[in-house]
Structure 1
Amino acid sequence: MNPVSLIFLALAMSTDAFAAAIGKGSSLHKPRLTEALRTGLIFGVIEAITPIIGWLIGQAASQWVAEWDHWIAFTLLVVLGLHMIYNGLKHEEEEEEKPGSHSFLILAVTAFATSIDALAVGVGLAFVDVNIWVAAAAIGLATMTMVTIGVMLGRVLGSMVGKRAEIVGGVVLMIVGATILYEHLTV
């Protein structure tokens, strides 16, 4: 795989994580750069690991992964999105202050959900002449950068939409999930 193709692959793999990061950033109370970097690092590491796992799976079970990856990503993102919408719709007296950061578990589940496509790409890379370690590093670095920017962009969008920012984030996650499902079903 040539370097230009690798760059485009890495950027393509990071776009859904970028959209999810905007939602995550908008649901936080004024996230700082350190929180954005933490989120970017978590997403980037997971997004770098999944194509390697996919590449390994590609040696034996590519058909199962290709048939179900979009449904897994769709389900995880819709459930997380609905949870965020529910939290955004709580009555004033039930609402808590926006957190300053998300838990590692929430970030890891969201990162995994947005990296299912990278797992499938890893399966495909098992049949192409590519250094999986270089490809995974490029995907991870692009995702870390895009997610960090996304969280900070979400901070700006969150202050513009006020207390309903979590609803926006939930809708964004659901749109990302629906897009993944649509792209796989229309191929």
Structure 2
Amino acid sequence: MAAPSWFIKKVILRNTGYTFLFLIIGGVGGYYLSKVNLIIGLVFFGTMLIGAKAFIDNMDKRGHGLIVEKEAYEFLKNNTNFDIEFRKELDSGGDIDIYIKDLDIAIDVKAYRKIDERIFSSNNVRSYNRQRNNSGRVIIWLPNAEEIVKYNRNFNITIIGGKNTMLNYLNKKSREIKGS
């Protein structure tokens, strides 16, 4: 089965430079192993193996996050009647994981299992601000977390854990819009 284009674009191409770097380090290590000095060659070769392991781990984490985003999109698409857009590109850079046009809501999907400080890291907050400039509301959705709804006043963001909680929240917002 071929990899989806979004996986190739976001994971493989983004990490290609690291792959070439590790190949070069491995080549230098192989040269030193065979021609110059065994110890220096082992150091280079060991560095390449450590770097390759870190690269593979990074790809696994990125790939898992992208898979969770795709599954979350499919879940909402199959269980709601809203006009939903997946990976809406922003003019200011970045993207919105899931955008619900009917409710003007940007949903940032996270693969975390619980609410913790990673949600409010500086990179994530910059991303939320870009998303807020392009939509009325930003929601952070943790589909694999416990069922919970929290509102963070400091960042003006709603955090939702669980799939059914998200459906209930969207239905409530839809009724509020239709009622007003």
Q: TM-score, normalised by structure 2?
A: 0.26
Q: Which has the higher helix share?
A: 1
Of structures 1 and 2, the larger Rg is shown by 2
